[in-house]
Structure 1
């Protein structure tokens, strides 16, 4: 993955015309070196995946989402419990139309991690990666929306994406599509995504995805950026440094007390630099919250001047 994942000219066009606004089709992405079936087979054989990091989805059988019977557990000679992907049970579920999903797969595939870093840099976001393997035209989730933006990269096979306009624009991360009524009628567009292509959907766009052909392999990259609400919440948290605002509400409230509070809020907010706060929260989002290690060096450094 030394080559650029998306050509610079196209990423500039995308951010200028579609990002956080509307669906977008990337006609050409460099997905050739992301991963292959041998990589997936090797990962499944390593006995390090556990439910729900590895899970199944099948729109015709919603109960499969909570099914964990394809993961069994064995005890080592020292009595330690370790997960083991049960080959028979997993293949049986896949043959019945279920989709195999491995969440946050960038932790296992270095080239996938490089793409999350690339997206983080280009889109000033936090990004992870979820792997989807399907052998059936049965949708994984049916008609639903995601509460974050997503870029889905097709690696093998083809997917049909039926896309509907949002009914709840800009959903929060706490919003789940099953709490909302799906849109009726025909989709606003249907896209056929082939290997080397990708589709971008902003949060809130309803979609139903189904496999065309014998099998499909694609990676979905969530794109998470701060909301204006996040900036406001951060600003409000910063007001805690003022003792006047930490003071309890008066036991016997009066118009003069409320007027004084209003004046204090106005004066405090005058000191807030929204541009500075927004820049800081975006930088924090891009940090990916990785914990960095520097082994074999186990010393701590005193960074005080």
Structure 2
């Protein structure tokens, strides 16, 4: 079973974002497909198409009217990445910075068969900001969104594999996809396909596992590692690639190793004069064995809390809650009173602990030390309830102060 992590303690919301990407029950997807095998979902089996998230008019606006800069765009043809200078220039008086997208250069490149990759759209385009945040809250792994625009009968990139899972959402046009089994199962970020280029080329020369054409509204899930290539057919093809940066057991191992630095046996220097150029030498071998023993001993008695906290902070650093309105909120703060109503900021990850001294609240960006009497308010907020400041079980001035602190830290929003 999987459960929604949107605002800890809230009811699972039915996974509406995930259901836009797959045509099976979320639990079945988690058990049978997630990180295991591809899944093709045709448009007529999904709730709606993807033009509400992005369409060609939106792409034109991003390319020509929003002052977008590198590295939010890549341009490629036949596997060759174009230099940024080929599609950027300064924006004129008052906007001279030289890496802004130049729409006329982009027009020329696209007409010449180049693929455009708009990157980081989960930070640029409002519908995708909301969609990515919702999906991340549902699946509990960091999410990014790119868009690929390919001219007819063109291919921007050679066969390759990704080091993150992807949901391919076909927006318009058609594209032929060929999927091959992995040459490396579950590759990590430090194991790119370019390190196994010959194996990838060999795999792509074999009959594909899947050979299909994606049409508007179709979706394709690919676990990391699956070798794939895609070519636009008739007309312009546009698709969204929703990348899921899966949190792995190796990330847990890294968190454990980082905490292992607390063990003096693992901080011991190796003998002076040890010849490290001879990895099979007796001294080096003995030190490796001793380190394995010391590490194993430390792991047997390791406290799981500290590595868990470290992993949580690493994941938080890759995510972002719903946007807030800085100016409107600052204005509203000046008029805050006992009738003001607050709610937890959507998609915010929140962690708090109670001690004799009080309550410590942590988010990705803030740490707040609060009175123990605020526990019931925090519980209500995490349960998805709105809270009127006048109903908080503190004296009136303390309740207003709590509201101000939570608002200024971006923990809550006014409703």
1: distance between equivalents of 2:225 and 2:285?
43
Instruction: Say if 1:217 and 1:274 are closer, same or farther in 2 by CA, change over 3 A.
Output: same
The offset of 1:101, in angstroms, is 1.1
TM-score, length basis structure 1? 0.83
1: distance between equivalents of 2:289 and 2:257?
19
Instruction: Say if 1:51 and 1:294 are closer, same or farther in 2 by CA, change over 3 A.
Output: closer
Aligned to 1:271: 301
2: distance between equivalents of 1:116 and 1:153?
13
Instruction: Give the conservation status (yes or no) of the 8 Å contact 2:90–2:96.
Output: no
2: distance between equivalents of 1:185 and 1:126?
33
2: distance between equivalents of 1:67 and 1:302?
40
Which has the higher Rg, Structure 1 or Structure 2? 2
Instruction: Give the conservation status (yes or no) of the 8 Å contact 2:143–2:319.
Output: no
Structure 1: runs of 5 or more not aligned = none
Aligned to 2:16: 4
Partner residue of 1:68 out of 85, 91, 97 = 85
Partner residue of 1:285 out of 307, 315, 319 = 315
- Superposed, 1:1-305 pairs within 5 Å as 4-7=16-19, 10-27=25-42, 28=46, 30=48, 31-59=50-78, 62-66=79-83, 68-77=85-94, 80-179=96-195, 180-181=197-198, 182=201, 183=203, 184-251=205-272, 264-272=294-302, 277=307, 281=311, 284-285=314-315, 288-290=318-320, 295-296=326-327, 297=330, 303-304=368-369
TM-score, length basis structure 2? 0.63
The offset of 1:204, in angstroms, is 1.2
Instruction: Give the conservation status (yes or no) of the 8 Å contact 1:120–1:286.
Output: no
2: distance between equivalents of 1:72 and 1:82?
5
1: distance between equivalents of 2:317 and 2:25?
25
Instruction: Say if 1:162 and 1:247 are closer, same or farther in 2 by CA, change over 3 A.
Output: same
3-state secondary structure, aligned to 2:130: helix
Deviates more, 1:177-186 or 1:146-155: 177-186
2: distance between equivalents of 1:90 and 1:113?
24
RCO higher in 1 or 2 (8 Å CA, sep ≥ 6)?
A: 1
1: distance between equivalents of 2:47 and 2:308?
30
The offset of 1:238, in angstroms, is 0.4
Instruction: Say if 1:260 and 1:221 are closer, same or farther in 2 by CA, change over 3 A.
Output: closer
The offset of 1:277, in angstroms, is 4.5
1: distance between equivalents of 2:284 and 2:128?
60
Number of residues paired by the alignment? 300
The offset of 1:262, in angstroms, is 6.0
